[in-house]
């Protein structure tokens, strides 16, 4: 099954709606609740990153019998140093983003913890692509 959701940069009132849809689908498929939580926390962190740091993006979801593969691509400033961005506490979030309850520099490390596979590539001034894979078994 494939699904595609749009993500709007800067729109915090909509942030999380794509991840929420994925959660509903996984629940309907009776996926183990612990794996659902790991997956949707990862997706939500990624979705909020697009909202907080990029201009626009989309979430492409591919659900198989044994796994979920999600690609989150955005058009935005990109990440100049991915190793640095992956460190806990590193954040370039604006004061507005912090006011919304984000910007602690915990998101990318938390995605790493909550996913079985995580691949991130980025081009400065072009955008970022993040792939998250979780197995159901």
Partner 1 sequence: MVKVVDVVDKLNARVICGSGDMNQEIQFGFASDLMSDVLTIDTENLLLITGLNNLQTIRTSEMSDISFILFVRDKKATVEMKELACENEITLIECSHSMFRACSILNEIGLQPVY
Ligand X SMILES: Nc1ncnc2c1ncn2[C@@H]1O[C@H](COP(=O)(O)OP(=O)(O)OP(=O)(O)O)[C@@H](O)[C@H]1O
Q: For ligand X, give the closer residue by CB, 29 or 82.
A: 82
Cβ-contact 54, 76 below 8 angstroms: yes
How far is residue 108's CA from residue 114's CA, in Å, rounded to a whole number?
10
Instruction: Enumerate residues 27-86 that contact partner 1 by CB under 8 A.
Output: 33, 37, 40-41, 43-45, 48
Among 76, 115, 118, 132, binds ligand X (CB under 6 A): 76
Q: Contact between 26 and ligand X (CB under 6 A)?
A: no
Query: For ligand X, how many residues bind (rule: CB under 6 A)?
Result: 24
Among 7, 44, 102, 118, binds ligand X (CB under 6 A): 102
How far is residue 35's CA from residue 72's CA, in Å, rounded to a whole number?
19
Cβ-contact 120, 135 below 8 angstroms: no
Rg (Cα) of the chain, in Å, rounded? 14
User: Count of CB atoms within 10 A of residue 102's CB?
Assistant: 21
Applying CB under 8 A, which residues contact partner 1?
12-13, 15-16, 19-20, 23, 33, 37, 40-41, 43-45, 48, 100-107, 110, 113
Enumerate binding residues for Mg ion (CB under 5 A).
49, 107
């Amino acid at each position: 099954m494939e699904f595609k959701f749009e993500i709007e940069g800067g729109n915090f009132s909509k942030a999380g709606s794509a991840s929420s849809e994925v959660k509903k689908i996984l629940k309907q498929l009776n996926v183990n609740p612990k794996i659902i939580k790991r997956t949707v926390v990862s997706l939500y962190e990624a979705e909020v990153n697009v909202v907080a740091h990029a201009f626009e993006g989309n979430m492409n979801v591919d659900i198989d019998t044994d796994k979920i593969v999600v690609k989150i691509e955005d058009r935005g400033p990109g990440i100049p140093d991915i190793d640095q961005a992956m460190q806990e506490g590193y954040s370039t979030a604006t004061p507005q983003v912090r006011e919304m309850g984000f910007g602690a520099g915990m998101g990318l490390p938390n995605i790493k913890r909550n996913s079985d596979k995580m691949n991130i590539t980025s081009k400065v001034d072009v955008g970022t692509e993040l792939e998250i894979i979780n197995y159901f078994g």
